[in-house]
């Protein structure tokens, strides 16, 4: 792969500023959401998140220095290792909240499913770049679909429906960008929608309940519908400017479960109001915009599909997470990027930023 001097050495400081601003907001919200727990046990989740962020920055730096091209070259191997880790989770994984998703080394625990999102993108970018001249042939689509199905099934088994389903929009976006024919993708989407009702029989009871209360939270107001009801109360009570940091009643009085993870946007809405939520959404919009711009300024098919895959992951996370806490989508357990508490996801997210910067830094020119 030959690279010219045009564009090489560029760095998007605006992207870094946006990510830093969101992480800073997240630390304030995590501290507020876990304040009662900190007061009782001394467990400072905001500090733990900050430490994970430092590790994530180090990962981003090494990814940037190594260059996305080198990592793509090893895409299949990295993805294969991640698949083995997903299998290992099902055997010896640590069970938390009824799900087996973590591998615990004592001093450090991580979720292979979070890293599978990015390793899948690397492997798929490698494949699509290698077969770019044959992508219009429907036979070449079999391998990408198989690559997506394997991690989806393993993650679904944990169980983690939200993370499992995120592979589908990433797959379709990268195939579309690579030049796959739209009619074949539409056939796949249509077939998937036709088979979707069958998924009901494979869901856990709590997952079925979540879908039911999405239609009507009052079906189980003290059970499956409790969190979404409290979330909407929290967001609505924030008004225009919010109740102030550490002053949200739904948050501080422990009415809102999972407020430091999947439902952290509810804390934003309650304590910083509509204005705080709008600012956060705007920052996410600018992040996605910059990601798309980076993808469009490279003529390298590996870098282009890689960038679009990363942007799709973040865009889907933001839309689904904010949609579910507002009651517009079913609760599926996708965290809010750079905001929700969770070391594995934050490290993966920051590593992805390093990849985007690497793509911008080394645009392929002819």
For 212-237, what is each residue's pLDDT tens digit?
A: 877 777 777 777 788 889 999 999 99
Taking only the tens place, the pLDDT of each residue in 28-73 is: 999 999 988 766 666 789 999 999 999 999 999 999 999 999 999 9
Residue in the block written with tokens 């989770």: 89
pLDDT of residue 276: 96
pLDDT score, position 238: 93
Give the predicted TM-score (pTM) of the model. Answer: 0.91
Is the distance from CB of 358 to CB of 281 less than 8 angstroms? no
Is 251 in contact with 33 (CB distance < 8 Å)?
yes
Phi, psi of 203 (to 5 degrees): -80, 150
Angle at 140 between CA 135 and CA 146, to 5 degrees: 130
CB 210 within 8 A of CB 332: yes
Number of helical H runs and strand E runs in the chain: 16, 3
The Cβ of residue 282 has, within 10 Å, a number of other Cβ atoms equal to 11
In tens, the pLDDT along 185-219 reads: 998 888 888 887 877 777 777 777 777 877 777 77
CA 26 – CA 18 distance, rounded (Å): 12
Q: What is the DSSP string of 115-166?
A: HHHHHHHHHHHHHHHHTGGGTTSGGGGHHHHHHHHHHHHHHHTTT-HHHHHT
For residue 200, what pLDDT is reported? 77
CA 211 distance to own-chain centroid: 21
b/e sequence 9-33, b meaning 16+ C-beta within 10 Å: eeebeebeebbebbbebbbbbbbbb
User: Which parts of the chain have pLDDT scores under 50?
Assistant: 1-7, 365-366
Q: Alpha-carbon dihedral of residues 57, 350, 150, 171, nearest 10 degrees?
A: -150
Q: DSSP state, 201?
A: G
The Cα–Cα gap between 260 and 271 comes to 13
Find how far residue 91's CA is from the centre of its chain.
Answer: 24
Instruction: With residue 288 as reference, give the H or E element that holds it.
Output: helix 264-296
What b/e readout covers 47-63, taking b as 16+ CB neighbours within 10 angstroms? eebbebbeebbebbeeb
């Amino acid at each position: 792969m030959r690279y010219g001097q045009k564009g090489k050495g560029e760095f998007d400081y605006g992207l870094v500023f946006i990510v830093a601003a969101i992480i800073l907001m997240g630390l304030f919200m995590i501290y507020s959401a876990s304040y009662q727990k900190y007061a009782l046990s001394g467990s400072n989740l905001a500090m733990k998140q900050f430490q994970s962020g430092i590790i994530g920055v180090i990962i981003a730096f090494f990814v940037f220095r190594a260059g996305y091209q080198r990592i793509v070259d090893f895409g299949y191997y990295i993805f294969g290792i991640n698949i083995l880790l997903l299998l290992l989770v099902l055997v010896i994984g640590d069970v938390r909240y009824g799900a087996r998703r973590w591998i615990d080394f004592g001093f450090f625990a991580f979720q292979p499913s979070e890293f599978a999102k990015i390793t899948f993108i690397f492997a798929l970018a490698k494949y699509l770049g290698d077969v770019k001249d044959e992508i219009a042939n429907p036979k070449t689509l079999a391998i990408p679909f198989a690559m997506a199905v394997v991690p989806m099934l393993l993650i679904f088994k944990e169980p983690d429906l939200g993370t499992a389903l995120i592979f589908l929009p990433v797959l379709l976006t990268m195939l579309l960008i690579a030049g796959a024919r739209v009619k074949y993708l539409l056939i796949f989407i249509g077939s998937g929608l036709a088979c979707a009702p069958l998924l009901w029989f494979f869901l856990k009871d709590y997952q079925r309940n979540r879908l039911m209360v999405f239609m009507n939270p009052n079906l189980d107001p003290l059970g499956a519908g409790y969190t979404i009801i409290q979330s909407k109360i929290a967001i609505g009570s924030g008004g225009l400017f919010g109740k102030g940091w550490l002053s949200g009643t739904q948050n501080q009085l422990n009415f809102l479960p999972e407020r430091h993870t999947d439902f952290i946007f509810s804390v934003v809405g309650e304590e910083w109001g509509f204005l705080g939520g709008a600012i956060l959404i705007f920052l996410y919009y600018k992040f996605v915009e910059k990601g798309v711009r980076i993808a469009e300024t490279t003529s390298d098919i590996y870098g282009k599909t890689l960038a679009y895959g990363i942007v799709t992951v973040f865009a889907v996370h933001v839309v689904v997470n904010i949609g579910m806490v507002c009651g517009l989508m079913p609760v599926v357990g996708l965290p809010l990027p750079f905001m929700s508490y969770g070391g594995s996801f934050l490290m993966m997210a920051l590593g992805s930023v390093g990849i985007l910067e690497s793509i911008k830094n080394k645009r392929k020119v002819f």
